[in-house]
C-alpha cells in the first residue's frame, strides 16, 4: 500500500491537500488523556524520532488527570534519565516536581540473571556449588529459541508492574524491530514451552540428570523448576497479551519524523500492530518546520525577499526551503494514509533541546492543544 502511495504522490505537498478540521480527527492526543480506561500506552517508532520525549510529555499530561502514572523504558539504550535530568534506576523512581509520576529503566540481562538465581535457590543449586547446571540449561534455552530471554524478562517486568497500583503505564519502547519482537513474546513462549515439553516426553529425566551432574540440584527439582518457571511466564504473558488486545485498556502511539524512511517504518508498524490485534489510532510527527505554514506560502515570501538578503542568508533560507518542501510532501502523504482514521499530531522543531521537567511540561502542551493548520 505504501509503495503505491509513494509512487502516486511523489510530487505532492501539503498545499495540495485541503485540510478541514471538521473532516479530520482532532490532531492531538487529547483522546488518550480522556480515555480513563486506558492502562497500557506504548510509544514506538524508528530510532531517533523522539519516542522518549513523546513518552515523557505524555506522562506529564497524564499525571494531571490520573492518580499514579509510571513511565517504563524497555529500550536497552535508556534515555529517561537524560530527558528528566535526574538519575532513574530499574525500580520506580519518583520524578522531581511531581507527586504522582514515576519512571523506571529495565535491564533484560539483569532480570534474567535474577530469575536464574531464584531458580538456583528453589532447586538447591548455588548453596554448595556454582549452579552451573541451571546456567547451562538457561544458556541452551536462550540459544535454541531467540528472544526467550527477553520474553522471560518482560514477564518479570509485567508481574512487577501488575503488583503496583499505577493507574496507567507508558512504555517508552525500543526501535520498531525490538518492539515487534516484544509483541511476539506469546508466540515465542509457546515455542519454548513446546520444545521443553517435547524434550521432557522424549528423554524423561535426562535433562534434570544432566544438570544435576554439573551441580544443579536434584534432577526432578531442576526439571520442575525450569518447566514451572516457563509455565508461569507463559501465563503472565498470555494474560498481558489479552489485555494488550483490548482497545479499552491498551493503545499504541506511533512516532515518526517527516522523512521517507520514518514514514515507511510507521506504515510497517501500523500494519504489524493490526496483525497483533493492538489498537493504534494516534501518530505523532516530530521535528516539523513551521507546522502552521506550508512551503508554498514560505516560498512566496522567499522569492519576494531573497534579492535583499546577503549570500549566506540566501543559502540558509534556500536549504530551509528545500527541507520544508520535503517535509510537506511526506506530511501530506501521512495525512493521506492516516488522516481519516488517525489523530495525526504535528510537533514543531524547536531551537532548543527538550530536557528537564519544565521544558517537557511546556512541550507536552502541544500534544494536547493542536496547531491550527489553517492559521
Instruction: Round to whole Å and give the CA distance between 303 and 297.
Output: 10
> CA–CA distance from 190 to each of 159, 226, 237 (Å)?
18, 14, 10
Instruction: Round to whole Å and give the CA distance between 345 and 352.
Output: 20
Instruction: Round to whole Å and give the CA distance between 345 and 12.
Output: 19
DSSP annotation string for 93-149 = EEPTT-SSEEEEE--HHHHHHHHHHHHHHHHTTTTSS--HHHHHHHHHHHHHSTTHH
Q: Is 99 a catalytic site residue?
A: no
65 touches 100 (CB < 8 A): no
Instruction: Round to whole Å and give the CA distance between 160 and 143.
Output: 26
- Which of 75, 111, 172, 328 is catalytic? The answer is 75
Q: Which helix (H) or strand (E) holds 172?
A: strand 168-172
Helix (H, G, I), strand (E, B) or coil at 86: coil
Q: Which helix (H) or strand (E) holds 170?
A: strand 168-172
Instruction: Round to whole Å and give the CA distance between 344 and 342.
Output: 6
Neighbours of 83 (CB within 10 A): 26
Catalytic residue set: 75
Amino acid at each position: 500500500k505504501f509503495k503505491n502511495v509513494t509512487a502516486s504522490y511523489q510530487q505532492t505537498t501539503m498545499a495540495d491537500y485541503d485540510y478541514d478540521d471538521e473532516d479530520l480527527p482532532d490532531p492531538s492526543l487529547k483522546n488518550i488523556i480522556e480515555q480513563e480506561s486506558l492502562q497500557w500506552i506504548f510509544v514506538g517508532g524508528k530510532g531517533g524520532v523522539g519516542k522518549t520525549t513523546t513518552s515523557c510529555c505524555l506522562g506529564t499530561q497524564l499525571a494531571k488527570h490520573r492518580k499514579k502514572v509510571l513511565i517504563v523504558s524497555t529500550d536497552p539504550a535508556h534515555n529517561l534519565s537524560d530527558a528528566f535530568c535526574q538519575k532513574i534506576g530499574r525500580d520506580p523512581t519518583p520524578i522531581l516536581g511531581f507527586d504522582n509520576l514515576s519512571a523506571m529503566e529495565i535491564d533484560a540481562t539483569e532480570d534474567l540473571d535474577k530469575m536464574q538465581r531464584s531458580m538456583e535457590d528453589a532447586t538447591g543449586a548455588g548453596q554448595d556449588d556454582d549452579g552451573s547446571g541451571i546456567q547451562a540449561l538457561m544458556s541452551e534455552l536462550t540459544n535454541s529459541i531467540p528472544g526467550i530471554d527477553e520474553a522471560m524478562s518482560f514477564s518479570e517486568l509485567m508481574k512487577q508492574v501488575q503488583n503496583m497500583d499505577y493507574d496507567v503505564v507508558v512504555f517508552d519502547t525500543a526501535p520498531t524491530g525490538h518492539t515487534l519482537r516484544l509483541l511476539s513474546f506469546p508466540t515465542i513462549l509457546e515455542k519454548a514451552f513446546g520444545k521443553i515439553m517435547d524434550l521432557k516426553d522424549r528423554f524423561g529425566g535426562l535433562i534434570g540428570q544432566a544438570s544435576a551432574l554439573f551441580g544443579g540440584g536434584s534432577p526432578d527439582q531442576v526439571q520442575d523448576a525450569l518447566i514451572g518457571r516457563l509455565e508461569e511466564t507463559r501465563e503472565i504473558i498470555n494474560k498481558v497479551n489479552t489485555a494488550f488486545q483490548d482497545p479499552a485498556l491498551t493503545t499504541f502511539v506511533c512516532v515518526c519524523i517527516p522523512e521517507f524512511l520514518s514514514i515507511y517504518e510507521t506504515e510497517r508498524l501500523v500494519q504489524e500492530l493490526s496483525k497483533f490485534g493492538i489498537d493504534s489510532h494516534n501518530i505523532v510527527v516530530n521535528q516539523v518546520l513551521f507546522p502552521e505554514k506550508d512551503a508554498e506560502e514560505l516560498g512566496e515570501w522567499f522569492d519576494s525577499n531573497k534579492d535583499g538578503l546577503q549570500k549566506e542568508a540566501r543559502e540558509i533560507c534556500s536549504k530551509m526551503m528545500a527541507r520544508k518542501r520535503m517535509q510537506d510532501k511526506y506530511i501530506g502523504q501521512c495525512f493521506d494514509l492516516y488522516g481519516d482514521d488517525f489523530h495525526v499530531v504535528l510537533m514543531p522543531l524547536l531551537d532548543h533541546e527538550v530536557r528537564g521537567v519544565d521544558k517537557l511540561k511546556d512541550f507536552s502542551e502541544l500534544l494536547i492543544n493542536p496547531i491550527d493548520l489553517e492559521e
